[in-house]
Homo-oligomer: A and B are copies of this chain.
Amino acid sequence: MARILVQTADFDTGAELGRLTAGRSDIGGIGCFVGTVRDTAAGRKIAALTLEHYPAMTERALAAIAAEAERRWELLGCTVIHRVGRLAPGANIVLVLAASAHRQAALEATAFLIDWLKTKAPFWKKEELADGAATWVEARETDTDAAARWSA
């Protein structure tokens, strides 16, 4: 039921919201998160971010994460779009939408989806610094902690 996309192209959040809610009047709230490329990381200027992924596994992992959200909350729709490739500062990286009859479910599912995606979907970020150096972003413990709070 979830709409899952992995693409190099940008996404249009307004259009995705419209698609999720079109013709429906059973939805009470839609939670949304948009992740974007920041121009600094640990105080260093970022020229670009490159997102690599594991194509055969990615959509499957995202579908499993969305299915888990649909199991935990009564969702009326759910969208996950993740971009891959080289992205400039300010660009969109990821979109999560979760619609429900009730706002608490929509907001919690949105937070759950992005937390789990950050620790369970096979994407890797490489930062290009302004001076030309490039380094793979290291996983953050806070992301693991954020995902772990949903295990309880």
Cβ contact within 8 Å between B17 and A13: yes
Q: Indicate if A6 sits at the interface (CB-CB under 8 A).
A: no
For residues 77 through 111 of chain A, which have their beta carbon under 8 Å from a beta carbon of chain B? Answer: 89-90, 101, 103-104, 106-107, 110-111
Interface size class of A (residues with CB under 8 A): 35 or more
Report the copy number of this chain in the oligomer: 2
Q: Indicate if A56 sits at the interface (CB-CB under 8 A).
A: no
Looking at A26-34, A57-65, A131-139, the stretch in contact with chain B turns out to be: A26-34
Q: Indicate if A21 sits at the interface (CB-CB under 8 A).
A: yes
For residues 1 through 49 of chain A, which have their beta carbon under 8 Å from a beta carbon of chain B? Answer: 12-15, 17, 21, 23-40
Cβ contact within 8 Å between A33 and B36: no
Cβ contact within 8 Å between B33 and A31: yes
How far, in angstroms, from A32 to B35 measured CA to CA in the complex?
A: 11
Q: Give the interface SS of chain A, mostly helix, strand, loop or mixed.
A: mixed
How far, in angstroms, from A80 to B111 measured CA to CA in the complex?
A: 20
Q: Indicate if A75 sits at the interface (CB-CB under 8 A).
A: no
How far, in angstroms, from A34 to B12 measured CA to CA in the complex?
A: 16
Q: Indicate if A66 sits at the interface (CB-CB under 8 A).
A: no
With contact pairs A25-B90, A90-B25 given, residues A33 and B106 touching in the complex (Cβ less than 8 Å): yes
Cβ contact within 8 Å between A38 and B34: no
